[in-house]
Copies of this chain bind each other. A is one copy, B any other.
């Protein structure tokens, strides 16, 4: 593909249409974390294959704005493309707005495909350029240039039966409509794929790593409309949807239907999850309210069937993880294993498990200094081999038809430095502190974040990512609304939420440590001061104890670890052969 050629075609179109600046984001109309091949317009236009970036083109400059995770990669990929790398100072900030403000003349026209930018971001663009009388124009130049564009995904989708998801569509709809009533809205527009998947008990494989189906939905107080590509569902599932009162329309009917919504509609949209296009085509007279998604909080609370299923998936995942680390211990010293091979291996061990549906994200299989990059992904072409020293980090997860997993373990492959052992122990200590926390109902993730980081901070150490994210049920491995981290997310950690607990320490050029379990919020006890909650750890896999600096853990933490290991062995050993059992038994020994 000739990216310089793309660029000059784009500039030609810009000139023809009198567009002064054109914005191309890494996004699809559903604003998902992962997009189908059809929407990899960034890779097409400039060759950048990272998941997060924005191209902005003017007649004098063509740049890719991306964050520190991709500086190296983008640097290579953009060579001789005509596009320059612009390094973001702050991750996820649309810093190109400030840049546009500096270079656009008054009254300039800024073009982009309105379907690809969220309402919230377009608001920022409008605000940032407000004193320039800039015109925003809805225009898709990519369609005209990208001749060999991949097709839209055509994989079949399917419905989960109630024994798998624990709650029927009609029960979920009732909950959603109750929330709509509370929020005084009569119409919900749902473009977020995981929210549609949850509401309709629908799964598919339109997007890598997320078992979702491209679609839109509109829920009113009396009607439910679901927009899917034709052929997505078999007759039986379609009949089932119809029987539940759901009107199914072709995917492409969505925009036309929006344009003809009754003017009495009081519509709630989540500005971060909804494209500007939706706002743009709604009739001017409808009442539009912006607010957080009503579905996300409902989806985050796992019901008892989901919890039981997740626990059974954790057993299988734990077996795969155990086999992997036994294999690694036996083979890492051979000098033949690369990070890529290890990543393939864990995927293979998972794939051998019953009910496996695919990886929940690209495994982060990272040895030595590579593990210091929290979002590192191994390259198949990199032939660097693991050695009998230092730390190896594996952050990986699987989708099972009964749940989604996400687990990180860091293990020594041989001799370690004192610094590696201290860092390892401080991460473990943070992980255990968070997992042991008890807290009153209403506590928010950012308060628990402080508890996790306290000891590390005393050592002058910190990590630049959150401590925990929500995890879906056989759904996206990253979901909201809860978050354990420094961000001011005003969401309480509630009973039934499944969240990751994954502190880390990263020393550039040296090593990285992260240890991650998934934890379920449960009721603890009620006192004069109200209801208290705590976490139940659902992940079942041993945590290396050979590189612990004992003096950095307190008695309660050591008890927690020993009890956890007892439980891991008790649960996993019946599923292992005798050789594996004795290996795991060693790993689970009390310290």
Contacts and interface: CB of A to CB of B under 8 A. Distances in A.
A532 interface: yes
A486 interface: yes
Given A444-B446, A461-B529, A488 B486 contact: no
Contacts of A443: 450, 457, 486
Contact of A457 (B439, B449, B461): B439
A462 interface: yes
B447 A525 contact: no
Contacts of A528: 507
A150 interface: no
Contact of A486 (B184, B442, B454, B489): B442
> How many subunits of this chain does the assembly comprise?
2
A569 B451 CA distance: 33
A284 interface: no
A506 to B, nearest CB: 9
A460 B529 CA distance: 7
A530 B440 contact: no
A486 B492 CA distance: 10
A506 B462 CA distance: 34
Interface in A443-481: 443-444, 446-451, 453-454, 457-458, 460-462
A525 B446 contact: no
B507 A462 contact: no
B442 A457 contact: no
A490 interface: yes
A43 interface: no
A488 B444 contact: yes
B184 A460 contact: no
Contacts of A236: none
A139 B488 CA distance: 39
A31 B438 CA distance: 38
A131 interface: yes
Contacts of A462: 440, 529-530
A131 B184 CA distance: 10
A420 B581 CA distance: 51
Given A184-B131, A451-B454, A457-B532, A488 B438 contact: no
A437 interface: yes
A551 interface: no
A546 B449 CA distance: 34
A525 B458 CA distance: 11
A183 B489 CA distance: 24
A91 to B, nearest CB: 13
A527 interface: yes
Interface in A427-445: 437-440, 442-444
Nearest to A533: B457
Contacts of A461: 527, 529
A453 B449 CA distance: 12
A437 B184 CA distance: 44
Interface string A498-538: 00000000010000000000000000110111101000000
A524 B529 CA distance: 36
Contacts of A529: 460-462
Contacts of A524: 460
Given A131-B184, A451-B450, A457 B437 contact: yes
A532 B456 CA distance: 11
A498 B437 CA distance: 29
A486 B444 contact: yes
Interface in A520-562: 524-525, 527-530, 532
Contact of A446 (B440, B460, B488, B532): B488
5 contacts: A131-B184, A444-B446, A446-B450, A460-B529, A462-B530
Given A444-B446, A461-B529, A488-B488, 5 more contacts: A439-B453, A446-B447, A460-B529, A461-B527, A488-B490
Minimum-distance CB pairs A-B, first 10: A447-B450, A450-B450, A460-B527, A488-B488, A488-B490, A440-B462, A446-B446, A450-B451, A462-B529, A451-B454
